[in-house]
């Protein structure tokens, strides 16, 4: 912000303007440059000055030297970090990867020199058993008879349902099956199946 003198007092940022004489080409370049920021010319110029001050930049040659020096400094720091990483990887190779490789190589060479191959277990074929005809889990005769009776009843109900099934072929659509059964019989069947 500019300082403006009024009545012998200095005020900061009062919004007054001052004229600066610059070349016409420079003014045109500055106007087109400041349009990019959607700010007034004063704000853009003030921002540029602030940027130069904060970064210790000299617009007449020393500024680029400072930037190049800082880039070189960063590059040197990165190279030191890369050197550290390479040293860590070489150390890992020396202390853990290489010895493990050497041990595996020694074991492999010893195995090849020994000439022994792992023994393969002969495959044992189970003999055919004939005792499957003998009852293992026996149930009492009464239990067996009751289960047989329930099975026969179930079979009769299934046959009764299958006898009530008829094929329906509509004029349009796919054919389907229809069961002729009363609602009470259907509910009874659901109850029995639960």
| 131 domain residue, yes or no | no
Residues 88 and 111 in one domain: yes
Residues 22 and 66 in one domain: no
| 33 domain residue, yes or no | yes
Side-chain-side CA neighbours of 111 within 13 Å: the count stands at 8
Q: Place 181 in a pLDDT band, splitting at 50, 70 and 90.
A: confident
> Number of folded domains in the chain?
3
| 158 domain residue, yes or no | yes
| 5 domain residue, yes or no | no
Residues 38 and 64 in one domain: no
Share of the chain above pLDDT 90, in %: 12
Task: Give, as one character, the DSSP assignment of residue 94.
Answer: I
Residues 73 and 50 in one domain: no
The stretch 6-16 carries a mean pLDDT of 53
pTM: 0.30
| 174 domain residue, yes or no | yes
| 122 domain residue, yes or no | no
Find the domain containing 43 and state its range. 18-54
Q: Place 79 in a pLDDT band, splitting at 50, 70 and 90.
A: very high
- Higher confidence at residue 130 or residue 34? 34
- In this predicted structure, the answer to whether residue 75 has a pLDDT above a threshold of 90 is yes
Q: Place 9 in a pLDDT band, splitting at 50, 70 and 90.
A: very low
| 37 domain residue, yes or no | yes
CA distance 43 to 36: 12
pLDDT at 41: 87
| 176 domain residue, yes or no | yes
Chain mean pLDDT for the chain:
79
Residue 181 class from Cβ within 10 Å (0-12 exposed, 13-18 middle, 19+ buried)? middle
pLDDT at 23: 92
Residues 68 and 90 in one domain: yes
Residues 110 and 67 in one domain: yes
- In this predicted structure, the answer to whether residue 61 has a pLDDT above a threshold of 70 is no
Residues 160 and 188 in one domain: yes
């Amino acid at each position: 912000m500019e300082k403006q003198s009024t009545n012998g007092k200095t005020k900061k940022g009062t919004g007054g303007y001052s004229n600066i004489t610059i070349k016409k080409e420079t003014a045109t370049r500055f106007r087109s440059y400041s349009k990019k920021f959607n700010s007034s010319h004063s704000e853009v110029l003030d921002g540029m000055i602030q940027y130069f001050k904060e970064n210790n930049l000299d617009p007449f040659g020393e500024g680029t030297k400072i930037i190049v020096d800082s880039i070189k400094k960063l590059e040197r720091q990165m190279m030191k970090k890369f050197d550290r990483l390479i040293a860590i990887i070489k150390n890992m190779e020396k202390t853990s990867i290489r010895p493990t490789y050497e041990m595996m190589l020694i074991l492999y060479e010893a195995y090849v020199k020994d000439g022994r191959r792992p023994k393969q277990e002969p495959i044992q074929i189970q003999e055919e058993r004939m005792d499957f005809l003998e009852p293992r889990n026996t149930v009492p005769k009464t239990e067996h008879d009751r289960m047989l009776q329930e099975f026969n009843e179930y079979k009769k109900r299934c046959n009764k349902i299958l006898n009530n099934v008829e094929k329906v072929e509509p004029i349009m659509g796919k054919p389907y099956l229809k069961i002729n059964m009363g609602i009470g019989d259907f509910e009874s069947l659901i109850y029995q199946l639960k």
